[in-house]
Amino acid sequence: MMQRALFSRSALLAQQAAAALDSPLVGRSASVLQRMDHRSVSSVTIPPPACMLRPLEVPMRYLFGPGPSNVPPRVLASGSRPIIGHLHPEMYEIMNDIKKGIQYAFQTENNMTISMSGSGHAAMECAVFNVVEPGESVLVAVNGIWGERVAEIAERMGANVHTMVKAPGGYYTKEEIEQAIEKHKPVLFFLTHGESSAGLCHPVDGIGDICRKHNCLFLVDTVASLGAAPIFMDKQKIDILYTGSQKALNAPPGTAPISFNDRACYKMFNRKTKPISYLFDMTHLSNYWGCDGNTVRAYHHTGPVSGFFALRESLAILAEKGLEESWRKHKEVSAYLYKGLEDLGLKLFIPDRDLRLPSVTTIAIPEGYDWREMLGYIMKHHQMEMTGGLGPSIGMVMRIGLMGYNCEKTNADKALHALADALKNCKKSKA
Ligand code: PMP
């Protein structure tokens, strides 16, 4: 109201100014104008957009898709703490806490453990840009969108990219991986642990040994699985591991933990060329995060201060709860969800229960239904996000994510109720 009143006053003043300019007293127009609201003499030609004069509106939604997930009050509250300088000692302390929290979540003792100022993609690019030089061979396991994405990132920076491709939901045996590594002799092998586009949790055991045997680095994406399914960076001989903040960690999107072991550090700090990205160059980031042994941390970029507060709190919640309890809970709630989905007559997309990703469940699109219509109905009538497939799984699946804070049987009930309602009310396109 107040804004509208101000604005119409401003329009009135503008009319008065125009009238003054037309009058015989035009010589005095400058002083007349000076006495008027400064907006009527503004030098800007583009007015403030009406949308910016309205208050911010954010609806309450059940985020039961593959992320972002709803955020617990403690994490939300951390984002409203006062901003401090990104190079203040208190901030370094918070970053040190984050580093320890990531080491716990990843089960690693790696010193080179940081968070990217950016989403999961920033960590993907950081990993590839730092350990691969143009012309070097990279092998990527593709079984959904994330392998496709990493292959493209590596291709863009000039790597010699080889892919092993399976349909969404497919997975690779150790023999297949070793054969491909022997053939392509990559410096880096990429695998997605939690393929959120297909709902698959890929086995990891033994692959690190194969990579070591062939002098290749093992890079694993746990954006959709960290905190929901067991991963042991050191024990499983993973050389580079990354995740995102907005899934089972339940922080807002925009930060992405990543860790490099000594093998990865050796490769990235003995390269002949500089990484193509300045922002993601680990020589700078390792100093910014106090990982390079230097007592002075120099300015490199301004980190997302509030985002780091939230990440710290989300890692603290995971530490308090305990990884094993978090894994157990995701398993229990996902099993409950599977049963409810089957009771509704829905078919789970990943037939082997041991290969299902506990954080993101995929169901085959029910015969005769339009998945977009169902998802639209659920959003409209239940204020609930579920999603369709992504990349190669589009048109194959619908995805339900119950991660971290959202991972509760009561939420599974809500999701099942919404699905049952959609099944009843969404017109069948085929008989
Ligand atoms: N990897 C996986 C497995 C993901 O699920 C996602 C996000 N859906 C990403 C990478 C990319 O993360 P972001 O959207 O945060 O960049």
From ligand 1's centre to the CA of 192, what distance in Å? 10
Ligand 1 pocket member 221 (CB < 6 A): yes
Mean pLDDT of the chain: 92
Q: What is the mean pLDDT of residues 53-80?
A: 97
Q: Is the pLDDT of residue 209 over 80?
A: yes
Give the per-residue pLDDT at 325.
98
From ligand 1's centre to the CA of 79, what distance in Å? 22
Q: Count CA atoms within 13 Å of residue 322 on its CB side.
A: 4
Give the per-residue pLDDT at 35.
52
Ligand 1 pocket member 67 (CB < 6 A): yes
Q: Is the pLDDT of residue 423 over 60?
A: yes
Q: Is the pLDDT of residue 158 over 60?
A: yes
Identify the three-state secondary structure at position 348: strand
- Report d(CA 136, CA 159) in Å as an integer: 5
DSSP 175-186: HHHHHHHHHH--
Q: Is the pLDDT of residue 26 over 50?
A: no
Give the model's confidence band at 355: pLDDT under 50 very low, under 70 low, under 90 confident, else very high.
Answer: very high
Please give the distance of CA 229 from its chain centroid, rounded to a whole number. Answer: 17
Quick one: which atom of ligand 1 is closest to the CA of 360? 5
For residues 117 and 255, the answer to whether their CB atoms sit within 8 Å is yes
Give the per-residue pLDDT at 24.
44
From ligand 1's centre to the CA of 165, what distance in Å? 19
Give the per-residue pLDDT at 20.
45
Ligand 1 pocket member 192 (CB < 6 A): yes
Give the per-residue pLDDT at 395.
94
Nearest CA to ligand 1 atom 1: 223
From ligand 1's centre to the CA of 426, what distance in Å? 30
Give the per-residue pLDDT at 205.
98
Ligand 1 pocket member 148 (CB < 6 A): no
Neighbours of 189 (CB within 10 A): 27
Ligand 1 pocket member 143 (CB < 6 A): no
Give the model's confidence band at 388: pLDDT under 50 very low, under 70 low, under 90 confident, else very high.
Answer: very high
Quick one: which atom of ligand 1 is closest to the CA of 195? 3
Tell me the pTM. 0.90
Q: How far is CA 230 from CA 103, 107, 329, 330, in A?
A: 14, 10, 12, 11
Ligand 1 pocket member 121 (CB < 6 A): yes
Q: Is the pLDDT of residue 38 over 60?
A: no
Give the per-residue pLDDT at 42.
87
Quick one: which atom of ligand 1 is closest to the CA of 244? 15
Give the per-residue pLDDT at 428.
76
Q: Is the pLDDT of residue 13 over 60?
A: no
- Report d(CA 400, CA 415) in Å as an integer: 8
Ligand 1 pocket member 401 (CB < 6 A): no
Ligand 1 pocket member 257 (CB < 6 A): no
Q: How far is CA 122 from CA 43, 70, 207, in A?
A: 39, 22, 24
Ligand 1 pocket member 130 (CB < 6 A): no
Q: Of the residues 124, 125, 142, 223, which should be mutated to test ligand 1's pocket, given the most ligand atoms within 8 Å of the CB?
A: 223
Paired sense of beta strands 397-401 and 387-388, if any: antiparallel
Q: Which residues contact 265 (CB under 8 A, 6 or more apart)?
A: 112
pLDDT tens for residues 271-315? Answer: 999 999 999 999 999 999 999 999 999 999 999 999 999 999 999
Q: Is the pLDDT of residue 31 over 60?
A: no
Spell out the alpha helix ranges (H) of 2-41: 2-22, 29-35
From ligand 1's centre to the CA of 121, what distance in Å? 6
Give the per-residue pLDDT at 431.
43
Q: What is the mean pLDDT of residues 383-388?
A: 98
Nearest CA to ligand 1 atom 6: 223
Min mean pLDDT across 38-52, 185-199, 333-347 is at: 38-52
Nearest CA to ligand 1 atom 2: 223
Q: How far is CA 54 from CA 1, 4, 6, 12, 49, in A?
A: 9, 9, 13, 21, 9
Q: Is the pLDDT of residue 164 over 90?
A: yes
For residues 369 and 429, the answer to whether their CB atoms sit within 8 Å is yes
Give the per-residue pLDDT at 2.
39
Give the per-residue pLDDT at 429.
57
From ligand 1's centre to the CA of 164, what distance in Å? 20
Give the per-residue pLDDT at 22.
46
Give the model's confidence band at 27: pLDDT under 50 very low, under 70 low, under 90 confident, else very high.
Answer: very low
Q: Is the pLDDT of residue 6 over 50?
A: no
Nearest CA to ligand 1 atom 12: 120
399 marked as part of a ligand binding site:
yes
Ligand 1 pocket member 120 (CB < 6 A): yes
From ligand 1's centre to the CA of 194, what distance in Å? 10
- Report d(CA 387, CA 372) in Å as an integer: 9
Ligand 1 pocket member 224 (CB < 6 A): yes
